[in-house]
Structure formats: C-alpha cells, structure tokens
Chain A
C-alpha cells in the first residue's frame, strides 16, 4: 500500500508495532455509555411507538390508538374508533378527552370538531357501524402525560386510560 507513495531511497518507515487497545478509567466508564445511546436508539427505545387500548360496554366497543411515546415538537395521531355493538342505532355517542391530558399538547386538532371542552359527538351510529374521532397531538411539554378517554352512549360510560411519554 505504501509503495505507490514512496521512492526506493525514501525515509525509513516507522517500525511495525502491534496496536493494542488500552483504555483509561474514564473511557472504561464512558465508552459503554457512549455506545449505549445509539444502540438503544437502533433498538427503537427512543423512537415513536403507538399503543392500542380496547374497552367494551353493552352498547359500544371502543378502540383507542394513541401515541405511547414520541418526541418533542413532533405530531402524532390519536384515534378513537367507536363501534355500535347493540342492535339499535345510537343517536349520539360522546367521546370526551381528559382536559389535563390534552392541555399537555399544543396545536391539537380534532376531527370531527369538538362541541364543548374536548367533547366530540358521534351521531347516528347504526347497529354494527363505526365512528372515528381523530386527534392530532403536537408534543410541546416533555415527560409522561396520562389521561382518560370517556365514551358515553345511552347512559353507559366507558373509561379508557391512556399514557403518552414525550421525549425532550
């Protein structure tokens, strides 16, 4: 490899030596920590993850898909699917979001729109039909944010606990 860069009567080469890895105490402690972060990241520890919670009552089945963790200033969806499991049409199903939970995020957008403080009505749900409520969450405050989604139909209430961790 060196021959292409050298001349026959060039300067003497450095003596060959067996390079052995030698670490200082700081490196013994620090290098595993240094390596751990990207390795954990590769394993998805610091990545986005969605979770699903399902609850049922006599009239409805609720499936909540929510971000279990995501990063600061990223946008993640929260979806509440309400299925009418009864034999009759449900005139109104109310999906209520915990104010304390929603307040931890910014630029929260509801589809359909809320009628009052974080309550979304799903109207005229025929037997066997499903309604979907979508929410976009923008991670503004980091840390763990817990809350509940309460679905009320025909006087029955279902409560689904959710928890989201926002990385700083």
Chain B
C-alpha cells in the first residue's frame, strides 16, 4: 500500500511539473536534453540520493531538475547568445544539390543519412534539394528546389 501511495505521489508531482513547465520539454528535445534525461537516472542516481531514499529527497530532486529545465529553457528563449551556447546550431549539409563535405565530416553525417532524409521528404534526386539542414534536434530537414518551367509545359529541375 505504501508503495502504491508513493508511486501515486511521484506520478502526480511529475505530471504537475510537466504541466507547469509546458509542452516544449515533451516535444522538442535537443540532444543535450535527451542525454540528460537518459543518463542522469542511470549514472548519478546513487550519487544524488546518497543512500537517502526518502520521499522528501525524491521530491527535492525532482523539483530541482524541473526548475533547472524551466530556467534554462527560459534563458534560452530570452537570450539568443545563451541559446547559441546551450543548444546546437543548424548546419547546412547540401546547397542546391551539392554536398558540403566539410560539414558532413564535422557532423559525421553520411550521404546515406542525407538520402534517407530526402526519401522521407519524397525526393529521390540530390539535384532536387535546395538545402539539406542538420537541425539542432539532430533531424535533417530537406528544402526541395522550386520546380522550374522548361517552357514546354513541363517542369524541370536544374
């Protein structure tokens, strides 16, 4: 019974924190936030709890974590310089059908990765890509080239 009550209390607190902090933390996870969420419980739980398994300690830890998430997301939103430090910036991988090899190497993105993103965007040919951008959340965004009229009633890409 006590375990049930404890789980209910933790569940309600976590739910309330998510409701307070907002939707952004649920949908737009940057790699930094993802790594933080995945690794902290595994690696640091004992260091954080220090064998203190009290509900008080759990509530303090949870509220501290959520307060930090809210503070960093607010600072990131309010101050672009802070955002530039905290979050990854977009990187252009392809411009008008041409790979930027330097950026691919630096980000360790293969041509296969770019083509996979192209296929998901419904594009088969690299020449039909205006820009391929590695976004801050790790996803590759594909901007297709605008179709051009070849003067014969058809549409051609360069």
Q: Which of A5, A31, A46 contacts B60 (CB 8 A)?
A: A46
Q: How far is the CB of A13 from chain B (nearest CB, A)?
A: 9
Map CB proximity to A onto B63-94 as digits: 1 under 8 Å, 0 otherwise: 11011001000100111110010000111100
Q: Are B19 and A71 in contact, with the CB atoms below 8 A?
A: no
A92 / chain B contacts, CB cutoff of 8 Å? none
A4-B77 Cα distance, complex, nearest whole Å: 21
Q: Are A31 and B54 in contact (CB under 8 A)?
A: no
**CB neighbours of A20 from chain B (8 A):** 78
A34 CB contact (under 8 Å) in B56, B67, B96: B67
Choose among B19, B53, B95, B100 the residue that contacts A26 (Cβ–Cβ < 8 A). Answer: B19
Q: Are A5 and B56 in contact (CB under 8 A)?
A: no
Q: Note all chain A residues with C-beta closer than 8 A to B64.
A: 37-38, 41
> Which residue from chain B places its CB closest to the CB of A24 in the assembled complex?
B22
CA distance A41 to B60 in the complex (A): 7
Contact B74–A168 (Cβ < 8 Å): no
Contact with A1, one of B16, B52, B84 (Cβ below 8 angstroms) = B84
B102 to A, closest residue via Cβ = A7
Shortest Cβ gap from A16 to chain B (Å): 8
Residues of A within 8 A of B55 (CB): 72, 167-168
Q: Which residue of A lies closest to B59 (CB)?
A: A37
- A125-154 vs B, Cβ < 8 Å mask (1 yes, 0 no): 000000000000000000000000000000
Contacting pair A168 B54 (CB below 8 A): yes
A10 touches B78 (CB 8 A): no
| A9 contact set on B, CB distance < 8 A | 95-96
Are the C-beta atoms of B20 and A27 separated by less than 8 Å?
Answer: yes
A30: interface (CB < 8 Å): yes
Closest to A41 in B: B60
B103 at the interface (CB under 8 A from A): yes
- Bound Cα distance A46, B64 (Å): 13
> In the complex, what's the smallest C-beta–C-beta distance from A104 to chain B, in angstroms?
16
* Cα–Cα distance between A31 and B73 once the two chains are bound (Å): 13
B133/A11 in contact, CB under 8 A: yes
Kindly state the separation between the CA atoms of A24 and B64 in the bound complex, as whole angstroms.
21
Chain B contact residues, CB within 8 Å of chain A: 16-17, 19-22, 52-57, 59-60, 63-64, 66-67, 70, 74, 77-81, 84, 89-92, 95-96, 100, 103, 130-131, 133, 143
| A-B CB contact pairs (8 Å), 14 listed | A2-B89, A5-B89, A5-B90, A7-B95, A9-B95, A19-B80, A27-B22, A30-B20, A34-B20, A34-B67, A41-B64, A72-B55, A167-B54, A168-B56
4 A-B pairs closest in CB distance: A30-B20, A72-B54, A37-B63, A167-B56
